Chains A and B, each alone.
Chain A
């Protein structure tokens, strides 16, 4: 057949028309898409029996009650527990994501022993028996050399059975070096000790206060027990109570307060004393409290050194605002002043805490409704005294490596000093245990901390996750995550009630992990002698049951135990402890760096959507972070548009951020809510460990800042650092 031009064209056109009319290609395309949509990797979650288990979340110090929804033996959702005295049904982003941590691929699935260089990420799986004997062998060696005091531990907190087991272990072994992660609670405790002579935690009867004066506390940014504070904030709004927020940046708390008063950062103590001066001058203070010891000296101090004009000059707040703030604060019927910057994860300057506490005392709210309460620890851990053998007796009498109790007599633990002490060769540790904490990420100047860790020959991590500290250790003995274990959770941050919550296993352990309480007991038993005798219990669960005694049944039944009578302790108030003398000449905590090379001031800010403690953001939470905080792989630095203009920086462009301690590549976010000349970076980013959803995103603020020792407490008082921001 001859194909002419005409027949060729008819064939093409006819074919095209035919193809267009026939449903076949469309049908095939549809079938193909349906087929590909049904590829087996879209999971079909299996159905099963539904149940709820109540427990307590331990992901942050907040200690909220949770109600965990299960389908058969799987956790599918975590909700707030109704009626729990801390959070009353509410929950935060981190608690909601607890099941992602349970099933996370970043979990350490069995005991691991390092085989490569430290931090290289090469591990060998070992059995629990091997792991325990490995630790015991090392510890026996150190002990037999008479170096028992060179073993230390870093624990998340100092109350509850787990921290106390570690403390007991170190005592029986013969070391004074029990260290805890620092927080504002350390400063509050010390303030209560110095000004009231009591050994207690500060609790805030926030719900009953009617005028809240916050010196930079992130009331709704994660301060105290976060969910409880969210609820308190809503209660205040519903009842027309007032909140005044004092800080240089328009945080969420500042935006939701009734009045935001920007202040030159670091001068909060001066403002508190300036307010005290106005209150005393106007005789608005509680007459009862003016009989207290030290009142006259305090009065002299504020009247001579903190006149309104002077304070105005120091703080950058105009005189009229200071006077009117003092008047409204003192004339409120239940005023309450709080401090502890952001989430309160750094202790801060003791002077500031004392000044704010004095303000509370002036308006007579100590241990009163709507005020600050001195809450004693729930006294339920009554274990028999440890019988110390000779080595232990010698060991515990040695000075602590961090100088707490010796150089700084009021301090109990000064982890912030560890890096410096170890790196300068003034002290050393042979072995270090880390549990419930991630100091290589969350301590200021984390690079120095890393260096200190590098010089410690034996680091044991009990972390459930491959975090920064675990990945730089020699041995990991993984703990169960909180959905798999028992643990007691005593009175949480800033709570004024005496309660104990019970964390309990919701599902059986997913991997070959052990409750850290059991692990420490096994190590003790392997060491034998008086160390083994200090732990007479068969298991951690048995220890917990025995410790809680009659409370155990209540805890199992309700999920929490609470003291029906709220307890406070009182001592005579002292307005002018010796530590306050340094305030006679106000000088803010000095900032590292020179003004010439570092013209800006960098401060951190906390967001409830960024976990910055032991736990890093799970995938859901990092997903909820705004694109003006984390953009691609870069953290955004908040810059006032005025400052941005001077530096030639525009929204969204890359810049290089330098501080005396480190540098980072950041993106610029122009924000009208920050004081010109100050720039702010979020805390909680810049992880190098964890999974791809978190690691390598943004920069770690702790790498950019160094510690500043408070002259009285020895705790870290740094609140910022000088910085330079340049175009790249």
Chain B
């Protein structure tokens, strides 16, 4: 297996930091994603198990009774897990190399034309970030006009998921290449959800780059699987060792605890090895 960044000294590790204190649960990230990525819709989308939402906003509750109840929203894109050396849960099980870990960007790809719909990746993904197309997408008459040529429409029988708007990376790289550059500025490549968030709760950038905001916000410890250095930062199901690249920040302890499974008396802050 290739070591991280071995073949490219300047390997990026694109990741996201979502500040849950700022997140208002407005859903703009979900819709911005649907609009950017030609995500289809059907008549009834209230069964969330088959409702394709690359970005989904979950509502968490602290479990207390009125009036001590509290809620918090948690937007969940694909975590683009690095695992150890690119062994993300889904990549490891895909028999068709339809999903792969890109060591240059840290992005987990999904290649629709290779996918034959075995859905092993969906079983392997602990975040429910992957969705299966049970039906062909159908747009009402006239609405195909708004489909973006940057992202192909998917057909029945394949799996899809958040790509960190990889086409935006490609477009930015093309532009940089034409201008004689090989490196991107921080603001040149931003995902659709990051751009749309009216609360400014989402930050996107290169976790490896100390000048990027994402790195400064969570101070990832890359020697220990990217574990966040900031005490208010956490990742979902940290202890599974999936090494996700989406970090969350919350000032509330109950929210941070909701990010993983803990025993009733267990201290969350004691790191497991």
Contacts and interface: CB of A to CB of B under 8 A. Distances in A.
Contacts of B51: 623
A471 B136 CA distance: 32
B157 A255 contact: no
Q: Could you say which of A89, A230, A632, A640 has the most chain B C-beta atoms within 10 Å of its C-beta?
A: A230
Interface string B8-48: 00000000000001101111101110111010010111111
A711 interface: no
B71 A673 contact: yes
Contact of A622 (B38, B45, B63): B45
- Residue from the set B53, B70, B136, B146 with the largest chain A CB neighbour count within 10 Å: B146
Contact of B143 (A90, A103, A252): A103
A425 interface: no
Given A96-B196, A609-B26, A103 B147 contact: no
B158 A37 contact: yes
B195 interface: yes
Interface string B166-203: 00000000000000000000000000000111111100
B56 to A, nearest CB: 9
A255 B72 contact: yes
A621 B35 CA distance: 11
B157 A33 contact: yes
B241 to A, nearest CB: 31
Given A93-B28, A96-B196, A42 B22 contact: no
B153 interface: yes
A624 B31 contact: yes
Nearest to B32: A96
B204 to A, nearest CB: 15
A45 B144 contact: yes
Contacts of B270: none
Interface string A515-537: 00000000000000000000000
Instruction: Classify the secondary structure of B's interface with A.
Output: loop
B46 A220 contact: no
Interface string A76-90: 111110000001011
A36 B155 CA distance: 9
Contact of B26 (A608, A641, A673): A608
Interface band, chain B = 35 or more
A45 B66 CA distance: 50
Given A71-B148, A105-B140, A620 B199 contact: no
Nearest to A632: B46
B152 interface: yes
Given A262-B67, A627-B46, A93 B27 contact: yes
B134 to A, nearest CB: 13
Nearest to A109: B142
Interface in A28-72: 30, 33, 36-39, 41-48, 71
A227 B41 contact: no
Interface stretch (A135-143, A231-239, A561-569): A231-239
B231 interface: no
B267 interface: no
Contacts of A255: 70-72
Contact of A233 (B30, B59, B66, B199): B199
Contacts of A75: 145-146
Which of B31, B35, B41, B156 has the most chain A CB atoms closer than 10 A to its own CB?
Answer: B31
A99 B35 contact: yes
Given A46-B149, A74-B146, A620-B41, A234 B200 contact: yes
A91 interface: yes
Nearest to B115: A37
The 4 tightest CB contacts between A and B, nearest first, are A90-B198, A672-B69, A45-B147, A230-B198
Interface of A: 30, 33, 36-39, 41-48, 71, 74-80, 87, 89-93, 96-97, 99-100, 102-105, 220, 226-227, 230-231, 233-234, 237, 250, 252, 255-256, 260, 262, 510, 608-609, 619-628, 630-633, 640-642, 671-676, 691-693
Given A76-B148, A97-B31, 19 more contacts: A39-B155, A42-B155, A43-B153, A45-B38, A76-B146, A77-B148, A79-B196, A89-B195, A90-B28, A91-B198, A105-B142, A105-B143, A252-B26, A255-B70, A624-B31, A640-B66, A672-B65, A675-B67, A692-B43
13 contacts: A33-B117, A42-B154, A42-B155, A45-B153, A75-B146, A76-B149, A96-B28, A231-B199, A250-B69, A252-B26, A633-B44, A673-B69, A673-B71
